[in-house]
Amino acid sequence: MSALSVISQNLVLVAALGLGFFWAKSKTLSLYSLQLIALGIIVFSLVPFLAKKIPVIKRVKLVAEFTVVTLIISLLIFSTGGFGSPVFFLLYFLLFGVATLGEPSASLALATTFSLLFLVNPSANLANELLQLSSLFVITPLALIFGSQYKKAHQDEAKIEYLKKEESLLTKEIISQETEVKNWTSQELKENLAKIWENLEAVSQDYSVSPNAKQKFMEISNQLKNLLKSAEEMEKKVQK
């Protein structure tokens, strides 16, 4: 994924988190939080189906799903007490999910945004919220490490799969070349050598040929005979 795509993904997730925060804090909009959560669940359920039908949605499927999940979780957290929310632990799952299936940097962006929202929206129960914030600082690096290791393992699997395909192609190529060599050795080479050898044998027995020429033809005939035997031995080796 390009740097621009990573930045765009991070901004979209941060925007979803910010929308959830301001929606929950708005006296008017907060009355419709349940409706927005229900709408988010419906959209999340429709995204996989629409991704099969619409190519544009297929390309942004993962980002769209994380955006909806981020909005839903932020609404739940900020509607039930913010950093003191009993469902604050959902943020941990979100960070690990984003770091693993999305971009690790997006997990860091979400954690940083949550920390900034804590600064602009302090509450009376400061000690409890500081404890939640400290746990967030602990979880975030773990999510980043886990996400990076997962992506590395996924890339290694992809490389192994690619090498297996290359190995299969090379094996087929070797078998094809072996078959060609075998056919050439057993057919064309042997047949042509045998014909040349027979012709030389016939010429060497011709009485009109001088003794010196016969001697040369016999030497060439013997060399071809040895070459023919060598070709037969090579054929046997290739067949093993």
Angle of helix 126-183 relative to helix 211-239, nearest 10 degrees?
A: 150
pLDDT of residue 124: 59
Q: How confident is the model at residue 138 (pLDDT cuts 50, 70, 90)?
A: confident
Token pair of 194 as six digits: 């045998």
Q: Reduced to 3 states, what is the DSSP secondary structure of residue 131?
A: helix
State pTM to two decimals. Answer: 0.64
Q: Please state, in angstroms and rounded to a whole number, the distance separating the CA atoms of residues 26 and 30.
A: 6
Residue 188's pLDDT band, with cuts at 50, 70 and 90, is low
Q: What is the mean pLDDT of residues 235-239?
A: 60
pLDDT at residue 210 is higher than 70 = no
Query: What pLDDT does residue 239 have?
Result: 58
Of the two residues 194 and 57, the one the predictor is more confident about is 57
For residues 195 and 206, give the distance between their C-alpha atoms in angstroms, rounded to a whole number: 17
In which band, very low, low, confident or very high, does the pLDDT at 16 lie, cut at 50, 70 and 90? very high
The proportion of the chain whose per-residue pLDDT surpasses 70, expressed as a percent, equals 72
